[in-house]
Copies of this chain bind each other. A is one copy, B any other.
């Protein structure tokens, strides 16, 4: 995260490029803009695993017909404070942005709004949606289930996704609180980094094919491909001694709200393949929520207290050898501030792939 080695590319032309690629794949311009904004936002915030490095996967999904460029999205059911949306197997970002907007509108009407989504796909960074609530002085909530990579406590095989949770809350003069975390100790991408560096994994990140914690990144990644067993560990690691059952509980909670509640995929019943091994629609599910701060307390009072919380935490004495205490989202805001001016940082392989897509789709690559 926030690695500065790579090729600098300015955010706005990069977004335009992504939009043009999606348009060539028959995605409506409005939807293409949402996906492009979401991907480049991730690169701006230093979360390159969820940035334009993902563009190829989306392109492939659209080409294979597993994701639909022009899905039939519809509100299946709603009450004043809740709704279920069917994403019609389209890209995850457009339906997610609209679902979060609906949650915010409902909160505007009755104080709280919650919207779950089924038949969707990868939605990018969770924080993109929770943060939409901030400009309306609301608390935003966003979560999603995901491809199966995480073993339950005492289990041998992956049965859950890295199932992220994001919650954003506004502050006054200080930066807002933006928690955006996978419920696994680390995401799969972190293992890939250690594998490239040929460094041993910290114990507590992943298990081998017998379900026992391992330091061997290559083995874990190889086991994923071969479906040989093992996988990532939930926050808290293996067993219950350091609270692994709590991380497992958070992952399961996200699956209940994002998968079971809307009737999307869930547990290992997601990202399925047909008998020939071809991917079926992923049926990813999401859950979005918004709470009006002034449904509880005047906004200015809330923000003043948030500022005080932030200042108390940042001013408290540091542990031996430590120089700074962070509030969640702060690192990403700092990275984004730099990258808005100096450009996002892309891996040379990602840039090469963008250029290949430029050629493939006849889109100008002027970045």
Contact = CB atoms under 8 A, between A and B. Distances in A.
A209 to B, nearest CB: 10
A156 B110 contact: no
A43 B76 CA distance: 43
A249 B179 contact: yes
A229 B256 CA distance: 39
Contacts of A186: 243
A116 interface: yes
A292 B79 contact: yes
Interface string A160-197: 00000001010000000101010101100000000000
A239 to B, nearest CB: 9
Nearest to A109: B80
**Residue picked from A112, A210, A237, most chain B C-beta under 10 Å:** A112
Interface in A246-284: 246-247, 249-250, 252-253, 255-257, 260-263, 266-269
A9 B76 CA distance: 51
Contacts of A249: 179, 181, 328
A225 interface: no
A10 B70 CA distance: 63
A186 B179 CA distance: 22
A319 interface: yes
Given A202-B241, A260-B305, A82 B313 contact: no
Nearest to A248: B328
B82 A157 contact: no
A18 interface: no
Contacts of A212: 319-320
Contacts of A318: 154-156, 211
A228 to B, nearest CB: 12
**Residue picked from A242, A266, A326, most chain B C-beta under 10 Å:** A242
Given A155-B316, A157-B317, A313-B159, A242 B246 contact: no
Contacts of A246: 181, 183, 235
A173 to B, nearest CB: 15
B110 A80 contact: yes
Interface of A: 77-84, 107, 110-114, 116, 139, 151-157, 159, 167, 169, 177, 179, 181, 183, 185-186, 202, 204-205, 207, 210-212, 229, 235-238, 241-243, 245-247, 249-250, 252-253, 255-257, 260-263, 266-269, 291-293, 295-297, 301-302, 305-306, 308-309, 312-313, 316-320, 322-328
21 contacts: A79-B295, A81-B111, A81-B113, A82-B292, A139-B261, A152-B313, A152-B325, A153-B325, A154-B325, A154-B326, A179-B249, A181-B246, A181-B249, A202-B241, A207-B319, A211-B317, A211-B318, A236-B243, A260-B309, A261-B297, A266-B308
